[in-house]
Structure 1
Amino acid sequence: MTDAEDDLPETLSTYLRLRGLEPTGRRSRRKRRVPGDGESIPFAPGRDPHGLGDVIAVWTRQAGWDPLLAREDLILKWREVAGDETAQHTRPVGLDAGVLTVQCDSTAWAKQLRIMRTHIVTEIAQRFPDAGVQNVRFVGPDVPSWKWGPRAVPGRGPRDTYG
């Protein structure tokens, strides 16, 4: 058998052999078929059944939901991240552009947690790396304010119109 015969596709070499154009010395020998990605081979690696959690994890990774689910887990497990006592006085209220906003019961708690910010950000980054939290913003309790939104006019506000 020559190298030229090995290079021909099997269908073309069969056609030439049947037409009598090129005699071959080989008998009708079956070519071993190499299975592709879409074919199943019994007892091959990857054939074991997977658990439902593993299958869902693969689907969420393929759909690109991992960061969203990590953020949700961070909000749901805030008590574990911050600790029991801190979690009694705080609650996460928003996560936008890598900044987690946490509302505190008092301004004293907000100030204390601002001091501990690096520890909390490090804890979040270790437990939830896919959440994408880069900073934490601690705010005090909601109090009435004369400032309405980020585009408010700077100055004293409505007090300068009283007299």
Structure 2
Amino acid sequence: MSGEGRPSDIARAALEAARAASAARPRPTRRRIAGPRRTWTGPRPGDDDPQPLGRLVDSLISHQDWTEHTRVGAVFGRWSAIVGPDIAAHCTPQTLTEGELLVVAESTAWATQLRLLAPTILGKLRASVGGDVVTRLRVVGPTAPSWKKGPRSVRGRGPRDTYG
């Protein structure tokens, strides 16, 4: 027999050497992080629980004071849902300044119709985004093409005067 010993003795010696090396190594200290301990929040979710995205966005908007900007954006973003698809197909909102919403109609007939429907449209806007966002509605028809080209122009009917 050789002087090495049995395999179980060799394994036991290796295990004891590994334990001794592990005991000689410095152990990391455990630090306790100071702060509030998590407590039971009851039947409702707590602030640190997962929240629905809509609730988080609403709290961000109110915390950052973006409510006026989001209400103005809702007029343009939800125009079709507010006024209905029939009206929205024939007009588009252009600008909103100091409570006056400028709406451009696709024809003069639709501009006239929208002027008659202005109180109804204003009521829908008040109900949807709030009463102080849009206070007046100004409806304009399509703009006619300009015959003026360049910095100088001549008075008269333009190119139509040579047609006949």
CA RMSD of aligned residues (A): 3.0
Q: Which runs of 4+ in 1 moved over 6 A?
A: none
Distance in 1, matches of 2:145 and 2:62, equals 43
Q: TM-score, normalised by structure 1?
A: 0.60
Question: Could you report, residue by residue, the CA deviation over 1:135-162 in whole angstroms, capped at 9, with x for unpaired residues?
Answer: 111110022469xxxxxxxxxxx749xx
Q: Which residue of 1 aligns with 2:46?
A: 47
Partner AA of 1:129 in structure 2: G
- Residues 90-105 of structure 1 aligned to structure 2 (within 5 Å): 90-105=91-106
Q: Which residue of 2 aligns with 1:129?
A: 130
Question: Could you report, residue by residue, the CA deviation over 1:112-154 in whole angstroms, capped at 9, with x for unpaired residues?
Answer: 11111111001000011177111111110022469xxxxxxxx
Task: Find the residue that maps to 2:112 and give its secondary structure.
Answer: helix
Q: TM-score, normalised by structure 2?
A: 0.59
Tell me if structure 2 keeps the 8 A contact 1:105–1:140.
yes
* 1:116 counterpart = 2:113: no
Query: Any stretches of 5+ residues in structure 2 without a counterpart?
Result: 1-34, 148-153, 157-164
Partner AA of 2:46 in structure 1: R
Fraction of identical pairs, as percent: 29
Aligned length: 115
Q: Which residue of 1 aligns with 2:70?
A: 69
Query: Any stretches of 5+ residues in structure 1 without a counterpart?
Result: 1-37, 147-157
